[in-house]
Structure 1
């Protein structure tokens, strides 16, 4: 389990990026961390990874305190950052050098994912396209078997077929003892992939809810006229009409619209958030 309690963090005595943030993550689930650019998504990931230290509050990850950076902890966490530089090595050489740091590294799984991405294990990493480098990082991350996988904007630089392959690989790879957090502002890239939605705003998690609860309590529709949904909780103009969120009073089945939910949660329309609380 991952637990953050009343975390506060700011850069150079500026406005707090994280301000009394509390969050609990359970194994066996994929969390989608959503937020505007600059709201602290990466900062939150780095707190969990022990790359940044809380200025107040506490953080524990599977019984470890990340800021202590104990070897046993570092073997159980892997971060795929948004920006990175890969060395002038072949993929095979990189794996041989870095896999030993992760006792549960699965070479066969890594090879399989690389094959699925269509990049194999040949060639110099620094000569691959940005998208291919990102795919290599994702394959290596999953193959580590780390209990906490933190992916920061993993779909940036991927084309549409690669994004589809990414979702397929991730959905089929998570074990019951692992936690995966995927941070993104491209919310549509996480549709049908995640188990829980996390929305970060103003230094705090303003929404944490399983997708199952969201679609049980809310219904997402596209209508020609806003009045067709009576008094929706939230509505915005869309191609050919309106996209609306309404209270689900008839057990209607609808697909979660992540972008619409995100916009609603940050619009000041507070009526949606209490409906999704336990």
Structure 2
């Protein structure tokens, strides 16, 4: 689906990525995590062909993203962080824009608006920022493009809307669709994504499924005086910790804890995560 090979990019003299290689496949919901300023939005723009790499390549379905061919654009929808919508109702917006996407499903669009509790007959410019965001998310889901990219989509959404967002996005995934969601609000993607991609220090430092991660480390609460951990943070009952995998134990990935550990440049943890299963069992 998406292949980045030795991609280097920056603005002016500021380099954001240095020889990044990344492969994303259909049938997955990827969570692109990184600190503010790490370049998450810029990486998504490279994938969408909105900016061009200094060197290296970015292809989507075997086609260079930078060429922005009509066949490429028909299979891509990008929900940016900052949105600007016309003074149309959601229904009129779908009528004027949906035909650019061959698999656009108007019934799905209207149903998702209803799920989000957003009126379809009010001018978009009269809606709150959060409601406008929901309209664009609903439209993106209804395009049924093979690639859907969303940049900080939960910004502006209240807590109930974030829960509904996770539900409708999960239901829109198919075996031939790839969904990439960037955020710095890590917990917003809990119970939604199946693969974590972390951008840090100009590199992709992690690209693994949650299933792969729990095969390598545990996430657990341990006593405050414990020292046997890869990374830990204090809580009222001890330590939230990432520990070495023990045979027969399986725990849920704590993505916020995982992300915090990685951005502290915890080499012991990243080495453990980047081990292959073969290396672990040798």
Kept in 1, the 8 Å contact 2:105–2:144? The answer is: yes
1:240-251 pair list within 5 angstroms: 240-251=237-248
Distance change >3 Å, CA 226–CA 263, structure 1 → 2: farther
Q: Is 1:62 matched up with 2:68? A: no
- 1:250 to partner: Cα distance: 2.5
- Distance in 1 between residues matched to 2:101 and 2:248, nearest whole Å: 46
- Native 8 Å contact 1:226 1:235 kept in 2: no
Which residues in structure 2 correspond to 1:14-93 (within 5 Å)? 14-93=13-92
Q: 1:123-172: per-residue Cα shift (whole Å, max 9, x none)?
A: 01011111111111100001001111110000001100000000000111
Question: Pairwise mapping of residues 164-179 of structure 1 onto structure 2 (< 5 A)?
Answer: 164-179=163-178
**Aligned to 2:259, what secondary structure does the other structure show?**
helix
| Structure-1 separation of matches of 2:155 and 2:104 | 25
8 Å CA contact 2:195–2:207 kept in 1: the answer is yes
Note if contact 1:111-1:120 (Cα within 8 Å) is conserved in structure 2. no
User: Unaligned stretches of 5+ in structure 2?
Assistant: 277-282
Displacement, 1:242?
1.5
Cα distance in structure 1, aligned partners of 2:155 and 2:236? 25
Match in the other structure for 2:279: none
In the TM superposition, residue 224 of structure 1 has moved relative to its aligned partner by: 3.9
Q: Hey, what's the Cα distance between the residues in 2 that align with 1:219 and 1:239? A: 20
**Where does residue 191 of structure 1 map in the other structure?**
190
> Aligned residue for 2:4?
4
State the partner residue of 1:231: 228
* Secondary structure, counterpart of 1:17 in structure 2: strand
How do 1:259-274 residues align onto structure 2 when only pairs under 5 Å count?
259-274=256-271
- Under a length normalisation based on structure 2, what TM-score does the superposition of the two structures give? 0.95
When the two chains are superposed, the root-mean-square deviation of aligned CA atoms in Å is: 1.1
Q: How does 1:200-239 map to 2 (within 5 A)?
A: 200-227=199-226, 231-239=228-236
Find the counterpart in structure 1 of residue 98 from structure 2: 99
Q: Are 1:233 and 1:244, in contact at CA under 8 Å, matched by a contact in 2?
A: yes
Q: TM-score if structure 1 supplies the norm length?
A: 0.96
Report the secondary structure of 1:176's partner residue. Answer: coil
Pair 1:133-2:132 in alignment? yes
Q: What secondary structure is seen at the aligned counterpart in 2 of 1:172?
A: helix
Partners in 2 of 1:233 and 1:226 — Cα distance? 14
Distance 1:46 1:176 in 2: 24
Are 2:224 and 2:237, in contact at CA under 8 Å, matched by a contact in 1? Answer: no
Unaligned 5+ runs, structure 1: none
Q: Which residue of 1 aligns with 2:120?
A: 121
User: Within 1, Cα distance between the matches of 2:232 and 2:273?
Assistant: 17
SS at the partner of 1:165? Answer: helix
**Separation of aligned partners in 1, 2:17 and 2:236:** 36
Q: Which residue of 1 aligns with 2:159?
A: 160
Asked if the contact 2:224/2:234 (under 8 Å) is kept, the reply is no
